[in-house]
Chain A
Amino acid sequence: MSGLGLVLNIAKTALSTQQYGIDVTGHNIANVNNPSYSRQSPVIEAKEPASYGRILLGQGVDTTNVVRATDRFIEQQLREQKSNELAFEEMEQHMKVLEGYLNENSQTSISALLSDFWNLWHDISNNPAGSAERVALYEHGSLVSEKFNGLEADLLQLETDLTGAVNFGVSRINEITGEIADINTQIVGIEASKVANDLRDKRTALVSELAEYINIKSFEQSNGSLTIITAKGCVLIQGNESYDLEMGGAAGDRVTWRSSGNAIVDITDYISSGKLGGWLTMRDEVIAKCGLDLNALAKEFIWAINNQHSQGVGLNLFEPDSTLTGTYLTSTDLDALDFGSEIQFIADGFKFWIEDRTAPANPVMNAVSIDLSGLNGSSSLADVATAINNQIAAAGLAGVTASVSGNAIQFTAGSDYAFGFSDDTSNILAALGVNTFFQGAGSGSMELNPVLHDKDYIAAAKIEADGSYASGDNTNALAIVDLQHTSTQISQWTCDRINGNTQGTVTTTLEHYYHGLVGSMGTTSSSISRGRDFNEVLVSQLSEIRDAISAVSLDEEMTNLMKFQHAYAAAAKLITVADEMLDKLLSTK
């Protein structure tokens, strides 16, 4: 016979099982708004029956486990897509800033300034002697230079900001990996006997956050600990150990990984997703290309204008007692000049004109055709100065000497001598920065040649073969105007983090090159936005699937609550029945 004790025992297991059920339901309800929470449910099983005589009787119920509703495959996919989405999202945000810098809806955009620049040369060609036109061109030239300088500075600032963001991301990654390693230890400890549901949720949340920063792959070990590796197969977490990322490289802008043996691996270019991936792609591909192309444009622009400008003459020659200093420096040889590679070492290099004003009423203009064939790329500035001085002397002329001052070429006129230049087919004057319009060799360094503070030195005219030059001569200005529609070869960059930056060339006009650059940034921006949209939808769909599996439904929980409550009441009734049966027995007389 089973005895009344069994009934009470069964009632007791039933009560506690329903109680657990209500606990778990309550836990679920409490976590309804916890995004990383996975719905839990008790695993309820009948107790082993016991045999009483010839029959087996059930022993009641037992809660053997509490399990989480989760799908590891979906979680992992969601994490990877989220990682991609965040990369695009960060790129999109910074791209908006870049678009703002390249904004074309204003009169001060580079393309509008470039158009005006050519128009002002038209104006000078219409009135070469006019001072208003010269002042306008001078001011506008400064404005164009400043715009290039400003854009370059803005791009550098963006890069600095992105490096700062990466730096912040790296420290957050290190915090997260540390925490995950701790949780690994705890989970391994607990799961020797039980299932650590909530710790696992917490770890999943941390892994998701880690994936928001960087691309990772994770594997669960049989003891429950999670191994995580990142770009280039570098291990971030193994068991209870985590390995930190650091900022390294010469400029401190590279992300490096340090192994347990203190070996340092540069993983920067292999960080493909997460916020870090977005920031680095933006910095090392998008902004890098924009900066390099802008620089290539500025360099070609400076060279094209300078090379033509140096052929000409202003309203005056370089006057007696004056010095004229080149703007491009070299402490070694000519090849080291910014535009050194453009120099042609030919016999009829350029014409050096010296006006002898010893008889003021009757100035005499003489030219020396400077022969550069004795020089080469390895010649120094001093060699150039000597060659010029020797050839001036050989032509029986005097009054102007060439020398080297502060790593630049310098021409000094005697008190009755003035000088000028013409017919430079060797490009050497523009390469030395003599009689040029701009100085500098890129978007950051571009400036007007300080010689032009005296606007009379804007060279609209040319010295003619007979040595005459007229203030109304506009031939050099017209030649500069022609550059607007002249196609030249301009470097164009492709920036790829894995393959590096490669330089190609396009043949186009300066303005069209800039329009193309703006267009290509627009294309990049719109493809980033499309990528973001696409990944956003993907993430939303995966989240929906994940939540369908793992999230809490209040309707379900309320139903469960009712279910357990009623069962609890029934079990309580069982105790009452057993109690009444005992009473009955005890009152038997």
Chain B
Amino acid sequence: MRVTNKNVYDAVKFNLANIQEELHKANQVVATGKRISALSDDPVRLTESLHIRSALSNTEQLGRNISMGTSWLAASESSLSQVQDIISDTRALCIQMANGTIDASQRAAAANIVQNNIDEIVSLANTDVNGQYIFAGWKTDTVPFGQDGTYYGDNHAFTIKIGNDTTIEIGSDGEALFQALFTTLSDLKNALQGNDVDSIRGATTNLDIDFDRITTKISDIGSKMIRMETKEKIYQDAIITNTERLSEIEDADIAAAIIDLASRQLVYQAALASSARVMQLSLVDFLS
């Protein structure tokens, strides 16, 4: 084929531009550490990486929900076990006061102890986590129990999401949990004040029932906490897996990228050298 001056110069321009473009791309990969920097670099993987990022964000949120739930359940558990201690103490007091050797004035004094216990349980039932009352049902911004044990909450349980199709009750209907206990305690107080030994004896049975109810609740909380822990572990694993997958998709293999860059650099240098030589040659230089 006839090779004209334009052929030579155009070929030099075309080839150098191509190599330079590739060199630029290789450099961009090394400089950003990313395999994908524009949408068009790898659209299929890009869509996948968007799905993963959204899933990651969602999982992290569910993780935050769980840690909130855990703090609520931990607060409930701690309050309820203190309530149980008080119930046990009260029961011991009850048995002691049912004894025939105790006189009316001693029983009246014990009534004050019971009142203190009521006050303490009211305060425990009014436990809040960051200003949200955990035993108020859905009325989380209302103090659930008055000093006299009146319930101002509602009969729902505060529920949060810990999975995309899993919800869990982390708050409680305070009425179902405490109302009977308050009744038992105030009956006991009245019985002590009224020196009514039979009623005092009867209170022991009621206290046992109340104690059992709280125990059931505590074990329910315990199993929920285990569930949440399991979920949390699953999420932590998912976050690690997804982060790794994301890195696989988006991040460049730096060693390979640098080798790629170096090889393109070499090609570019060779092209520059050969172009410079070819362009210099002309018959004009040899005619006098």
Q: A522-B40, A554-B284 are in contact. Are A122 and B11 (CB under 8 A)?
A: no
Report which of A471, A514, A559 forms a contact with B141, defined as CB distance below 8 A: A471
Q: How far is the CB of B21 from chain A (nearest CB, A)?
A: 10
- Report which residue of B50, B139, B156 has the largest number of chain A beta carbons within 10 angstroms of its beta carbon: B50
| Contact present for B4 and A129 (CB under 8 Å) | no
What residues of A have a CB within 8 angstroms of the CB of B167 in the complex? 478
Tell me whether A102 and B284 are in contact in the complex, defined as CB-CB below 8 angstroms, given that A32-B5, A115-B53, A119-B57 are known contacts. Answer: no
On chain A, the residues within 8 Å of B41 by CB distance are 522, 526
* Contact string against B for A residues 517-557, beta-carbon threshold 8 Å, 1 for contact and 0 otherwise: 01111110110110000000000100110011101111100
B4 touches A478 (CB 8 A): no
The stretch that binds B, out of A57-65, A104-112, A440-448, A498-506, is: A104-112
Interface residue tally on B, bucketed by range: 35 or more
Which residue on chain B has the smallest CB distance to residue A69? B2
A193 is an interface residue with CB less than 8 A from chain B: no
Contacting pair B138 A555 (CB below 8 A)? no
Complex: chain B residue closest to A528, CB-CB: B40
Contact status of A548 and B1, CB under 8 A, knowing A104-B46, A118-B61, A126-B68: yes
CB of A581 within 8 Å of the partner chain: no
Task: Say yes or no for B123: interface residue by CB 8 A criterion.
Answer: no
B43 and A553 contact, CB distance less than 8 A: no
The answer for the CA separation of A127 and B164 in the assembled complex, in Å, is 18
Interchain CB contact under 8 A, B159 and A478 = yes
Could you tell me the distance in whole angstroms from the C-beta of A481 to the nearest C-beta in chain B? 6
Contact B61 A119 (CB under 8 A): yes
Residues B140 and A472 in contact, CB atoms below 8 Å apart: yes
Please state if A472 and B54 are interface contacts (CB–CB under 8 Å): no
Residues in chain A within 8 A of chain B (CB atoms):
32-33, 35, 39, 95-96, 99, 102-105, 111-112, 114-116, 118-119, 122, 125-130, 461, 468, 470-474, 478, 481-482, 484-485, 511-512, 514-516, 518-523, 525-526, 528-529, 540, 543-544, 547-549, 551-555, 558-559, 562
Q: Are A129 and B132 in contact (CB under 8 A)?
A: yes
Q: Which of B1-36 contact A (CB under 8 A)?
A: 1-7, 10-11, 14, 34
Chain B residues within an 8 Å CB radius of A511: 54
Q: Which of B41, B44, B283 has the most CB of A within 10 A?
A: B283
Is B213 engaged at the interface, CB distance under 8 Å to the other chain? no
Q: How far is the CA of A482 from the CA of B166 in the complex (A)?
A: 10
Task: Across the interface, name the chain A residue whose C-beta is closest to B52.
Answer: A515
A129 touches B160 (CB 8 A): no
Q: How far is the CB of B14 from chain A (nearest CB, A)?
A: 5
Q: Which residues of A contact B1 (CB under 8 A)?
A: 548
B 264-287 to A, binary, CB cutoff 8 A, 1 in contact else 0: 000000000000000000111001
Specify which of B53, B54, B158 is in contact with A474 (CB 8 Å cutoff). Answer: B158
Q: If A104-B39, A515-B51, A544-B11 touch, does A554 touch B138 (CB 8 Å cutoff)?
A: no
Choose from A122, A461, A547 the contact partner of B65 (Cβ within 8 Å).
Answer: A122
25 examples of A-B residue contacts, CB within 8 angstroms = A99-B38, A103-B39, A112-B53, A115-B54, A122-B62, A125-B160, A461-B138, A470-B137, A471-B142, A472-B132, A472-B136, A478-B167, A485-B164, A515-B51, A518-B47, A519-B39, A519-B50, A522-B38, A529-B40, A544-B10, A547-B6, A547-B10, A548-B3, A548-B7, A551-B7
B161 in contact (CB, < 8 A): yes
Chain A nearest Cβ from B210, distance in angstroms = 26
**Is B154 close to A, CB under 8 A?**
yes
| B46 A522 Cβ-Cβ under 8 A | yes
The binding surface of chain A is classed by DSSP as helix
| C-alpha gap A105/B53 in the complex (Å) | 11
Q: How far is the CB of A460 from chain B (nearest CB, A)?
A: 10
The list of the 5 closest CB pairs from A to B, nearest first, reads A522-B43, A472-B140, A519-B47, A522-B39, A525-B40
A residues within 8 A CB of B159? 474, 478
**A482 contact set on B, CB distance < 8 A:** 164
Inter-subunit contact A552/B4 (CB<8 Å): yes
User: Smallest distance from the beta carbon of A433 to chain B beta carbons, Å?
Assistant: 28
Interfacial chain A residues near B138, Cβ < 8 Å = 461, 470-474
Within B119-156, which residues are at the interface with A (CB < 8 Å)? 130-132, 136-142, 154, 156
Residues of B157-208 whose CB lies within 8 A of A: 158-161, 164-165, 167, 171
B64 contacts across to A, CB distance below 8 A: 122
Q: Quick check: B140 and A128 within 8 Å, CB to CB?
A: yes
Instruction: Tell me if B40 and A553 are in contact (CB < 8 A).
Output: no
CB distance from A323 to the nearest CB of B (A): 28
**Cα–Cα, bound, A125→B61 (Å):** 12
The answer to whether the Cβ of B117 comes within 8 Å of any Cβ in the partner chain is no
B215 at the interface (CB under 8 A from A): no
Neighbouring B residues of A520 by C-beta, 8 Å:
43
Contact B132 A127 (CB under 8 A): yes
B115 interface hit (Cβ, 8 Å): no
Q: Which of A39, A116, A129 has the most CB of B within 10 A?
A: A129
Q: Whole-angstrom distance from the CB of B241 to the nearest CB of chain A?
A: 18
A548/B4 contact (C-beta < 8 A), A119-B57, A129-B140, A129-B141 known: yes
B158 CB to nearest chain A CB (Å): 6
CB atoms of B2 and A126 under 8 A apart = no
